[in-house]
Structure formats: structure tokens, C-alpha cells
Amino acid sequence: MSHDKKYIVIWAALLVALFVSLGLGQFVGNAAVVGTIFVIAAVKAWLVVAEFMHLRLEARWLQLVFAGALAAIMAFVIGITPDVAHHWSVIPPKPEAAADAVVVAKKPLEPGNVERGGKVYGTYCVGCHAVDGKANGGTTGANFVDDTTRLAKTDAELLTSIAEGKTGTIGTMPPWKGALTEQQRVDALAYVRATFGAK
Amino acid sequence: MSHAHAAPLPEERTSTGVATGKVALWWFLASEVAIFGGLIMSYVVCRLAHPEWAEEAAHTVSAAGALNTVVLLTSSLFAVLAHSAATHGDMKKASNLLFATVGGGLVFLCVKAYEYHHEISEGFTPVASLFWGFYFFMTGLHGVHVVAGMTALTWAALKARKNEAPWAVEYTGMYWHLVDVIWIFLFPLVYLASAS
Amino acid sequence: MSHDAHPQSFISKYVFSTDHKTIAKQYMITGLFMALFGGAAASAIRTQLAAVEPGGTGGFLDPQFYNSVVTMHGTVMVFWVAMPVLVAGFGNLLIPLMVGAEDMAFPKLNMASYWVFLLSTVVLLISPLVPGGGAAGGWTSYPPLAADPALSGVEWGITLWILAVALELVAFLMGGINFITTAINMRAPGMSMWDLPLFVWEEVAASIVFMLSVGPLIAGAVMLLLDHVAGTHFFDPKMGGDPVLFQHLFWFFGHPEVYVILFPAFGIVAEIITCHARKTLFGYKMTVWSVIATSLLSFVVWAHHQFIAGIDPKISIPFSVMTILISVPVAVGMFAFMATLYKGSIRFTSAMLFALGFFACFLLGGVTGIINGTAAADIYIHDSYYVVAHFHYTLYPLVFMAGPAGLYHWFPKMFGRFMNETLGKVHFWGSMVFFNLIFLPQFNLGMMGHNRRLAVPTNYEFLSTPEALLMQDISTWALFGLLAFQLPFVWNFFHSMFRGAVAPANPWNATTLEWQCPSPPPHGNFDTPPVVYRGPYEYSPEGDGPDFIAQNQPPEGQHEVPQNPLVSPHAAK
Amino acid sequence: MLHYLPFQLSSFAGDIDQVIRVIYYIVGTWFVAAEVILFWLIFGSRSKPGVRAAWLPGTGRAKWAVLAPVCAVLACDLIIEKASSPTWEYVKLDIPHPDVEVKIEARQFAWIFTYPGKDGILGTEDDLVAKELHVPVNKKVVFHLEAADVLHNFYVKDLRLKQDAVPGRSIKGWFDTNTEGTYEIACAEICGKGHTLMGSKLVVDSNEAYQSFLAAL
């Protein structure tokens, strides 16, 4: 039963390696420690694959099969690390609420100003709702002119669908609270009511 | 034909001297390495991009992870002892050792279930953040493979008890070792690299 | 070996058969059936592009539906036509026959792979019928568009699409294990790895490349599915996820995938030109090494699909160099095939015509790829019609020229009957003319800056010029010509199955083992297990002996060598 | 095919066209040569009665009949790589000092351009927002390309500029212009329902027209 004794010895070695890396686990701060932990993990993995799975005794080309899979994954990680790991040119996701709070704190909310609203509409809303407010015949957005139910809704209701966005029958209205301040949204609504809807 | 112990092969025909079943199994293990490798490397790369995950990772129960490593290593030992028992023809002992391996898998799943319960009760669900998404997906997929390994081992143990398909002892054991190797890499990545 | 099969009911003989030849036919017929869907999607796209008028009017497809038709066209053609016909169809049919085995290493696993594939086909065909329409993010379905239903307006369509692709990948993993183990371990006695026909080498290389590269995509597809269904944030930029990570996961598989399609087509063409030019393959070992080199290189080039996709421009340089280098081993293969024709004695059967047509068109496909691989030129060329023309000049010859070439060549072996030669030539010349007419104008459209996947390109003035509209119209009329010339093939294929001229066992006087057994081969393939004495391409050897020597023909003055102990004992019963 | 290349508006448009032209001629000669040889082989080696094919296994030194042209392919590849990498660095890597800085934001089915306003710093309160991209002629413009929801692609054919906008990333790039006029901006990455409607205008003004445009914002 000499084989069995060898396996038990290997098993014990694996446990020792585990406790060593557990011990190292306390000061994960510096990279050297993390490096040694992964080297220990690699050694443990090799022990299991070579001894328990008898890869060491297999034909050479079978070892190549296993090595081939590892090589493919190494090629993958080397290829993506510079891009995804260092997150070239990433912008840290800034919390959206902050944008609103800054503006409101300064200026109290004025009633909707049609002239300023026209500029906001002309920049952000015209892409889908079009200059004439008909949204290319209602295909890319709500058609304010022909579909009178749209502007029949209350201001509060329309302001929430501008801020939070809405998924309707035609498609999805993106939420604008990140890009537009509350004042701009009120102005835009005032412009839309003034130019397209009956007051 | 292949090793000294020459257990009867599932396929009588082999041109390379290696049992066809074993060739197929090594290819299957290679594709498993590719799947788990892709997933673990995506996690590693995202981890390099988000150093702040160390705080989130601190909420994982390292002790449970270590215990699970011990459990899996021990059940791997049982699997390899079962294989060496089968090669010496003692199928009864091999079958018992295989059942012990399945027992190890059960213990692993129970510890895992406790861990999941503990984490989810604290509000760390897969949708909580990207780290938890990776954590639950990796350990969950590994858990699925543990269950698959346990069913295969149980089938092999029953066959071994009836002295049939002795090759199954070795092949299910090898699949179990791969599941153990994947856990050997998962443990430091998720549990250890966390104590900030 | 070929014991008279125990009486099988229709079901177990044709539907739940574990015979690799029947599974091959099932794969091929499912693939050709799905080609109808791919063709229909193509004609919808082309008709829309020809119907649009300047000013953005005239289009009859709603933009969202157009995007989903483009997505289905790409997905169906790559995963449900190219893979089943080239990899699984010919692979299942020929690998056991060419290595002299009675069946695949694991017949039940082989049958299971077809049934998982059929399930994936059904799931895919359902996906456009659900509310919200089919997936509409291109065949690559990048997140966040594919991950967030609110952004794409497609809920169930994308879920079913991802499931269908995942099932299809699992089916080909099962098939791949069978191909590799059969080719490596079930070879006839006396057949060393260097006696394998090139087709078997290419199929094994395709299966290995597929198996090792699909791992990350399976993980990526499940992550995308979880993002889409369960609300996790793997690729959600607002929660720190990274959409570019999915692009890497996809294209790490995406580029090796096109070599998985290229290898079987190269294998088919190699078998056909050697047989019909009566000449041995020029530089067999060199060509095998070029296949291995292409396989290795195919793992390190994937980011040339993402030069301007927002990745770090510094890593585009190594990928651009590797992409240009991969043209070298592929060039070795192509030049070796052309050198094989030199001083040959070419018989212009339909199969040979298609193989030569494949060369002529694939040359242009390969040559126009260099510009995409060069990072600087790709800035302008990326996602333009130039790229569309390039990959159609590579994929169309692989699937619709090497595929039919293989069908005309091995049809007598599959069904024991010839396909009609004159219809074959009509099909060849018609497809050849109209295929070129479709895609040559698209090179010019690409240079003009026409970008892909636009439902109504005439919304832009620079795409409403008379030249652009003329080229779109030529492309569309040529497509209808091409579809018309596929009819003779479809009729010829099904008609000849039952009424084609009866074919002998070795109609083309070929040397490889699959022609040394009756056609169609019985259940166990070979009456007596073949023993192999020489390499696969012994055509017109020196001296004035017979025109070819089969692989299993014993050398003169020596009768059959007694069984090699390695041969399966149960055969000796 | 090359005469379809559009007008060269930016300085690097000429360089990119030059790279395309170099590749076109090298690759074109290979293609024509290969086709001619292919058709010569087909026609020359057709089966003639009583003539038997030759036995050319292509082993030993005969391999060089294939390996020699392959080495020539490798040489051409290296020439192409040599010709194209400086252009890649010029366009993508060395971002010049900006005369004008602008933030380009792509969102589902519209382009939004933000100018730094009087304080000259982007992201401050006095930024000016426009629906069309106005730039002064002969000036270097550095843009920060962002996407609000899905992948988009900022594409101006006359500039030969095509750059994906990735949500979560702010990608820095540059271009300059040499002629006044209005040019079309298109989206070149599938971004959903309105992908085909996402056009906008790049207006190249003289300096005065540019200043008056900013003032009117």
C-alpha cells in the first residue's frame, strides 16, 4: 500500500500549504504577500493535478492538452489586463444626486421660462421629438401635436417622465435627471406647452 | 495497455496506447479549465481595476472558506485512495471511499449554504454590487460542478459496489480533483485577498 | 465489423440513430434548412437597402425590426449554417470513415450533441416571435444595449437568443470531444498521425481551437444573461462594470471561431483538388504545420475587432502585428493547394469547379483582410461596408463554395447516387457570377464611408449620392440572381437522393479510406477492419502503374497483414 | 476603388489615405499575381488524354516553391506594418495641446456637445451646450468622448475619424480641420432603435463666426 502512504503525505502537505497561506492572509496589504499566496495556490494545484490525477505519468501529448488550456487562458488574461484592469480613461461614476443638489441650493426654482426652454429642447429633446414636435410621425418619440393625450397630462406627471424616463409603447424615453437640472426640465416643459400644446 | 494497473477500458480500441475514455476526459477537463479560467481571469482583471473591493470582500466568511478547502482536499484524498483501491481490485473499499468523497461534497455544500445565508441576510446579494455578482457567480458555478461531481461519484460508487465499470472510479475521481483545483484558486482570490 | 444490423425501426434508424453517417445527414439537412432563413434575412436586408430613397423615405422595414433581421442573419449564418454543415456535417460523415473506424468514439454522446443542437435551433427560431421582437444588437450583442431591456426594448428576444447560442456551443463541445478522440485514438492499425488525410487534421484543429476558445465566451454569455435577466452588474458601467470586458470575452472566441469555419473548408478543398487533379498534395507535412501555426496564432489576434472600440490604443499595436502575421500560415496553405494543381490532370466535375471557385474568391477575401488588420487603416474602415464585403468574401466561399463542393464530391458516398452534373455546373456558374456582383460594389461603398447596420442609410446626405444608391441596387438585384441559382442545387440535392444515377463504391477513384467501403456504407462501415500502409494522397505515382493506390491496398506480393493486437478484440469474434 | 475616398478634411486624413493606398497596391499586386497563376495552373493542368499527372510531393527543397512566396508575403506584411504604425501613433497616441476643447456626449439617438465657456474649464457651471459641433478652422480640437447609455461611435468620414463612445469611459482624441464648411457626423456602432437617425453636423467656421456662435449659445 506504499501508494496510499504517498497520497496521505501529499494530502498533509496540501493542508500545511493551506494554513501557511491562511497565516499570510492577515497582511494582504503588500503585493509580495499576495504573490506568495498565489504561488502557494499554484503549487497546491500542481500537486493535485500531477499526483492525484497522475498527469505526471500520462503520455506527453496529453500533458500538452492540459497545458494548452492553461496557455489559452494566459493569452486571454495578458491581452485584456492592460485594457480592462487599468481601465484606461474611465470616469469614476459620480453619484447623480450631487448634480441636482448643487444647483438647487444656489437658485430657488423659477417658473418655466419658454425662451431658455427652447434652447434646452433644441439641444436635448429634438433628437427624438423633432423640431415640429411630431417625433417623425410618432415613430421615435411622443407626438405632442397630433397625439393630444400627451400634453393633457399634468405638469407633475410630465416632469417625472422627463426626469425618470419612461418605457412606453413606442420605445424608451431616457431619464434626463442626470444630464438636465430641474430648472432646465421645467423650462423645457414650458417651451413644449407653449409651442405645441393648447395652453 | 496504458498503465501497469490496466483496468479494463471503456473502449477496446486505442491507437495511442491511452484509453479512449481518458483522452476524452482530459479534453473535457481542458474545456472546463477554459470556462473557469475565463471567468476567474475576468474576476482577477476587474479586481485589479477596483481596489476598493477589498472592503466588500472582507464580508466573506474566510473561516468557512478555509474549512471548505480542508473538506475538499480531504475528499480529494478519499477519491485518490478509492482509485488506488480499485487498481488493486478491492472494489468494495473503493466504493466506500467514493461514498466518503460524496460525503465530503455534502459537507462542502452545507458550509456553502450557511455562508450564502449569512451573506444574503446581511444584504450582500448578487445584485448588490459587481464584486458580489462575481462572488456568487463563481462560487455558484463551482457549486453546480460540485453537485455534478457528486452525482457522478455516486453512480461510480454504485457501479463499483456491483464490480462494474471500474474505470468510472478513476474518471469521476479525476473530475473531482479538477473541481478541487478550481476551489484551490477560488479560495485565495475571493476569501484571502480581502482582509484590508 | 459490419454485422447485419439487428432490425431497426424507422425511429431508431433515422431519428434516434447513433450512426455517425445518419447524424451527419441530420446536421447537414438542419444546416441547409437554416440557410433558407439566413438567405431570407439577407434578402430582407438587401431589399430595404435598395428601397430607401434620399431623404430617408421609402424604407419598408421598421428600424428596430431591421436591426433584429441583421442580428438573425449574422447569427444564423455563422452558428446555424457554417458550423453544422462544415464542422459537424462533414466531420461526422468523414472522420470515422477516413480513419477506418466503425463509428465515433462515443456514439451516444454524438447523438446527444445533435439533439442539443436541434433544441438550440428551435429556441433560436422562437426568439423573434416573442413580444418585443428578436435580439437586435448585432450578432455580437454588445452590452449595455443587449444587457438592459429598457435600452433596447427587447426583453425575451435577447434571453432566448443567448440561451440558443449557449446551447449551440454546448452541442459543439460534445461533438468536438468526439471528433478529437476518434481521430487520435480510433485510427486504423498502421495509420500514423502523418497518414491522416488533411481533412481529419483540419477537423481536429477546428475542434481543439473551438473547445479552448469557447470557455471565456460561455462564462461571458452567462454573465450577459444574468445581467439581462437577474439584474447583476457585470457589464453595467454605472456600477463599475465594463462593457469592453464582454467585447474581449466575445472576440477571444470570435476570431478563433472564423478559423473553426475555415479549417474544415480547407480540408474539403484539399481532398477534392488532389482527387480531381489526380495529384498528390504538395507539401503535406508543411500544410499540416501551417494548420497548427494558424491555430496557435488565432488565440492572440482577437483585439483587431476592437481597435477603435475604446480599448487602450497602446495594446492595438501588438494585436495589429499579430493579425498581419496570421496571414503567413494561411498563405502557406493556399499556395500549397495551388502548387498541388501544377502539372495535374484536372477533371472539371462540379465538385472541382466549386473548389477552384473557392480559391478564386477566397484569395480576394484573404487579401482584403490585411487592411482591416492594420490598426491605422482600420480607423476609417472599421464597421464600414468594406468590412462587410471582406468577411463575405471569406465566409461565403467557405460555406457556400467549399460546402457544395463537398456535397457534390461525397454525395455518392452518402446516398449511393450521383448528383446531376449539368445542374451542378449551372448552379456553379450562376452563383459565381452573382456572388461577385453582390459584394464587389460593397468594397466601393466601404471606401465611400458607408457604415454598417444602418436601416435607412439615406438619412445621411453622403450616403444618398446617386453612386451609392446605384451600388446598393446592383447588390440587391445580384442577390436575387444568386438566390434564383440556388434552386437547381436544392432540387438536385433532394431529387438525386432517390433518383440520381447509381454510384459505385469509389466513383472518383480516390485513395482515402472512406472510398474503400461500399456506398452508402453499412452500419459498421468496413466489412473487414482496414489496415493502412501509406499516406492519403498516392495519386499517379511514378511509373506506369494504376492511376491511384488506396491507403489500405497491401503492397504488391504481400497479402493482408494479420490483425494488429491493438485492433479491438471484439472485431476478431 | 480608391477614388471613392472622401474629401481630406483633417491633417491625418491624408496619412490614413496613404496607408490605405500602400496596402491597396501591395495587396492588389499579390491578388492579381495569385489569380493569374491560379488560372494559368487551372488551364495549363487540365486533363489531356494520355497525359498522366506528375508526382510532386513537395518534400525536401521543393517546399521552397511555396515557402519563398510566403516569405515575400511576410516581407510585405512587415512593410505594411512599418508604413502604418507611425500614423496610428500620430492619430491615437500623441494628443496635441488643444486650441479648442469640447466634450462630446452620445446618448440614445442624439449628440450633445459641451464647450468650456468663459472659464475655459469643462465641467464647470458656465459650460455651453450645443446640438451641432462648431469648430474654428485650422485649429487643433481635443474632444472627450463619452456615452450616456449604450455604445455609440463618433464618425466623421471627411476627418477619417471613427471612435467608439463607451459608457463609463471618457475617451480623449483630437482632430484638426483645414477647410470651412458643414460635414456630417454619423453613429457607426449599433445603438438601438434610432441608430439610423443619429446624424448631426460638424460646422467648420472662421474664427469670427466661431466666436459669434459661442456668444449666441
Of B46, B74, B177, the CB nearest to A52: B177
Output the pLDDT for position C560. 60
Number of domains, chain D: 2
CA atoms within 13 A on the CB side of D57: 10
Mean pLDDT of C325-341: 94
**Whole-angstrom Cα distance, residue C45 to residue A40?**
56
Residues 6+ apart with CB under 8 A from C430: C481, C482, C484, C485, C488
Give the percent of chain B with pLDDT over 90. Answer: 58
Does B106 map to a domain? yes
Give me the mean pLDDT over the C528-550 stretch. 88
pLDDT exceeds 60 at position C524? yes
Grid coordinates representing C538?
Answer: 498516392
Q: What is the rounded average pLDDT of the residues C103-131?
A: 93
Q: Which residue of A has its CA nearest to D130?
A: A123
pLDDT band at D86 (very low <50, low <70, confident <90, very high): very high
Is pLDDT above 70 for A39? yes
Domains and CATH numbers, chain C: 18-572 (1.20.210.10)
Instruction: Catalogue the long-range contacts made by B94-100 (C-beta closer than 8 Å, 24 or more residues apart).
Output: B94/B160, B94/B166, B94/B169, B95/B157, B95/B158, B95/B160, B95/B161, B98/B153, B98/B154, B98/B156, B98/B157, B98/B160, B98/B169, B98/B172, B98/B173, B99/B154, B99/B157, B100/B75
CA dihedral C522, C528, C532, C538 (to 10 degrees): -60
| Number of residues assigned to chain B | 196
Helix (H, G, I), strand (E, B) or coil at D141: strand
Highest mean pLDDT among A126-140, B122-136, C13-27, C481-495: C481-495
Which residue in the set D110, D168, D170 is minimally distant from A127, CB to CB?
Answer: D110
Domain closes at, from D78, D93, D108: D93
How buried is residue A9: exposed, middle or buried, by Cβ count under 10 Å (0-12/13-18/19+)?
exposed
Instruction: Tell me what the mean pLDDT of segment A112-124 comes to.
Output: 77
CA distance C422 to C428: 10
Cβ-nearest to D80 among C244, C374, C461 = C374
**Residue B12's pLDDT is what?**
59
Residues of D with Cβ-Cβ distance to C331 under 8 angstroms: 69-70, 73
H, E, C per residue of C6-74: CCCCHHHHHHCCCCHHHHHHHHHHHHHHHHHHHHHHHHHHHHHHHHCECCCECCCCCHHHHHHHHHHHH
Please tell me the predicted confidence (pLDDT) of residue D109.
82
From the list D46, D88, D195, which residue is nearest C453 (CB)?
D195
Burial class of residue C562 in the structure, from the number of CB atoms within 10 Å of its CB (0-12 exposed, 13-18 middle, 19+ buried): exposed
* Per-residue model confidence (pLDDT) at position A87: 65
Q: Kindly state whether residue B170 falls inside one of the protein's structural domains.
A: yes
CA D190/CA C143 separation, integer angstroms: 11
Instruction: Report the pLDDT averaged over residues B120-124.
Output: 90
**B113 inside domain:** yes
Q: What is the pLDDT, as a whole number, of residue A100?
A: 42
- Measure the N-to-C terminal CA separation of chain A; round to a whole number of Å: 95
C contacts of A83 (beta carbons < 8 Å): 244, 248, 303, 311-312, 315
Specify whether D77 is located in the same domain as D52.
yes
pTM of the model as a whole: 0.91
Give the pLDDT of residue C568.
39
Task: Specify whether D105 is located in the same domain as D178.
Answer: yes
pLDDT score at B2: 31
Contact yes or no for C340/C279 (Cβ under 8 A) = yes
Range B99-112 burial, b when 16+ CB lie within 10 A, else e = bbbbbbbebbbebb
Nearest CB to B77; choose among A11, A28, A72: A11
Determine the pLDDT at residue C306: 92
pLDDT of residue A54: 83
Q: What average pLDDT score do residues A108-119 get?
A: 77
The predicted structure's pLDDT at residue A89: 61
Q: What is the pLDDT of residue C561?
A: 54
Quick: pLDDT tens for A55-103: 887 888 888 888 889 999 999 999 888 888 876 666 665 544 434 444 4
Looking at every residue in chain C, the average pLDDT score rounds to: 90
Domain count for chain B, please give it: 1
Does residue C40 have a pLDDT over 90? yes
Q: What is the pLDDT of residues B50-86, one digit of tens each?
A: 888 888 888 888 889 999 999 999 999 999 999 999 8
Residues in A 157-196 with any Cβ partner in B closer than 8 A: none
Residue B6 confidence class, pLDDT cut points 50, 70, 90: very low
- Range scoring the smallest mean pLDDT among C82-86, C326-330, D109-113: D109-113
Chain C residue with CA closest to D38: the answer is C338
Instruction: Kindly determine whether residue A76 and residue C216, on different chains, have CB atoms separated by under 8 Å.
Output: yes
- Out of A187-196, C252-261, C370-379, C408-417, least confident range: A187-196
Are residues D66 and D139 located together in one domain of the fold?
A: no
Residue C250 C-alpha, separation from nearest chain B C-alpha, in angstroms: 11
Residue found under cell 497602446: C314
Contact C242 A80 (CB under 8 A): no
Rounded average pLDDT over C320-333: 93
User: For A26, which DSSP code?
Assistant: T
How many C-beta neighbours within 10 Å does residue C94 have?
Answer: 27
Mapping DSSP to helix (H, G, I), strand (E, B) and coil, where does residue D187 land?
strand
C242-263: b or e for each residue (b if 16 or more CB lie within 10 Å)?
bbbbbbbbbbbbbbbbbbbbbb
pLDDT score recorded for residue A156: 83
Q: For residue B116, what is the domain's CATH number?
A: 1.20.120.80
Optimal mutation site among D17, D18, D23, interface C, most CBs of chain C within 10 A: D23
- Percent with pLDDT over 90 in chain D: 69
**% of residues, chain C, pLDDT over 90:** 74
Highest mean pLDDT among C528-537, D42-51, D105-114, D136-145: D136-145
Region C357-375: what's the mean pLDDT?
A: 94
How many residues comprise chain C?
Answer: 573
Contact in structure between B28 and B179 (CB atoms under 8 Å): no
CB contact under 8 A, C232 and B24: no
| Beta partners for residue D182, in sequence order | D203
Tell whether D81 and D134 lie within a shared domain: no
What is the residue range of D131's domain? 100-216
Last residue of a domain, one of D58, D75, D93: D93
- Three-state DSSP class for residue D78: helix
Residues in A closer than 8 angstroms to D149, CB to CB, are 174
pLDDT at A169: 65
pLDDT at D151: 93
DSSP secondary structure code for residue C309 in this structure: T
d(CA C442, CA C364): 13
Inter-chain residue contact B30 with A34, CB threshold 8 Å: no
Residues D86 and D107 in one domain: no
Q: Are residues D124 and D79 in the same domain?
A: no
Q: Which grid cell sits at C300? A: 492572440
Nearby residues of A55 by Cβ (< 8 Å), 6 or more positions away: A49, A62, A63, A66
Helices C284-297 and C243-276, packing angle to 10 deg: 170
**pLDDT at A170 exceeding the cut of 70:** no
Nearest-Cα distance to chain A for D184, in Å, is 15
Instruction: Please give the pLDDT value at position A65.
Output: 86
What residue ranges do the domains of chain A occupy?
2-85, 96-195
Range of the domain at B30: 20-192
pLDDT for residue D194: 85
The pLDDT value given to residue A88: 66
Write the residue in C62, C208, C312 that is nearest to A83 by C-beta: C312
Touching, C vs D (3+ Cβ pairs under 8 A)? yes
Mark whether D128 and D173 lie in a shared domain: yes
Shared domain for D55 and D152, answered yes or no, is no
Q: Which residue of A has its CA nearest to C300?
A: A75
| CATH architecture of the region A96-195 | Orthogonal Bundle (1.10)
Q: Which residue has the higher pLDDT, C141 or B166?
A: C141
- Predicted confidence band of residue A163 (pLDDT cuts 50, 70, 90): confident
At D147, which CATH number?
2.60.40.420
Q: Does C425 score more than 70 pLDDT?
A: yes
- Chain C hits for A139, Cβ within 8 Å: 62
Q: What is the pLDDT of residues D125-148, one digit of tens each?
A: 888 888 899 999 999 999 999 998
- pLDDT for residue C268: 96
> What confidence score (pLDDT) does residue C2 get?
42
Residue D34 contacts residue D26 (beta carbons within 8 Å): no
User: In chain C, which residues have their Cβ closer than 8 Å to the Cβ of B23?
Assistant: 180-181, 184-185
What was the pLDDT predicted at C30? Answer: 95
* Residue where a domain stops, chosen among D39, D63, D93: D93
Within D45-121, residue ranges assigned H as helices are: 64-88
Per-residue pLDDT at D131? 85
Which of A40-44, A92-96, C336-340, C441-445 bottoms out in mean pLDDT, i.e. has the lowest?
A: A92-96
- Residues D88, D159, single domain; the answer is no
CA distances from C352 to C254, C347, C421, D194 (A): 30, 7, 11, 47
Cβ count within 10 A of residue B163: 12
Instruction: Give the number of C-alpha atoms closer than 13 A to the C-alpha of residue C425, restricted to the C-beta side.
Output: 5
Contact between chains at A73 and C215 (C-beta distance less than 8 A): yes
D18 and D78 housed in the same domain: yes
Determine the length of chain D: 217
